[in-house]
């Protein structure tokens, strides 16, 4: 992808840990990605992603109210994409 394409990507980061969030956002910013929206629970993620569908969801495996697998299962039928780009992270 070109730098201008990376700059237009929208990413939803679902991560409870402030340290992990800062680390991931820093790496993404270093690649030229600036549109990073952060939430820290599955419920918050569902509402935000349904309202503002991102190009990619990056989610921690364990969230305070659900797991990333349950989050993905809830999002797939409701997001207006043929396929939801979803990256699962675990530390």
Calpha distance 3→77 (Å, rounded): 31
Q: What is the pLDDT of residue 81?
A: 58
Phi, psi of 50 (to 5 degrees): -65, -35
Give the whole-number percent of the chain exceeding pLDDT 70. Answer: 93
Please name each of the domains of the chain with its CATH number: 3-89 (3.40.50.2300)
| Range among 9-13, 47-51, 70-74 with highest mean pLDDT value | 9-13
pLDDT at 38 over 90: yes
Reported as half-sphere exposure (CB side, CA atoms, 13 A), residue 44 has a value of 14
Average pLDDT, integer, range 11-31: 94
Q: Which pLDDT band holds residue 23 (cuts at 50, 70, 90)?
A: very high
Are 16 and 59 contacting, i.e. CB atoms less than 8 angstroms apart? no
Q: Is the dihedral of CA 30, 33, 34, 40 positive or negative?
A: negative
Residues 28, 6: Cα–Cα separation, whole Å: 9
Residue 15, pLDDT score = 94
pLDDT for 79: 63
pTM: 0.88
Q: In which region does residue 32 sit, left (phi positive, over 0), alpha (psi from -120 to 50) or beta (all else)?
A: left
**What is the arithmetic mean of pLDDT over 39-60?**
92
């Amino acid at each position: 992808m070109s730098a201008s394409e990376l700059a237009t990507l929208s990413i939803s980061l679902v991560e409870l840990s402030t340290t992990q969030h800062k680390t991931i956002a820093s790496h993404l910013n270093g690649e030229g990605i600036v549109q990073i929206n952060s939430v820290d629970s599955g419920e918050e993620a569902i509402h935000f992603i349904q309202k503002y569908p991102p190009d990619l969801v990056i989610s921690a495996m364990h969230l305070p109210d659900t797991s990333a697998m349950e989050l993905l299962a809830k999002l797939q039928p409701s997001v207006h994409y043929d396929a939801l780009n979803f990256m699962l992270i675990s530390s």
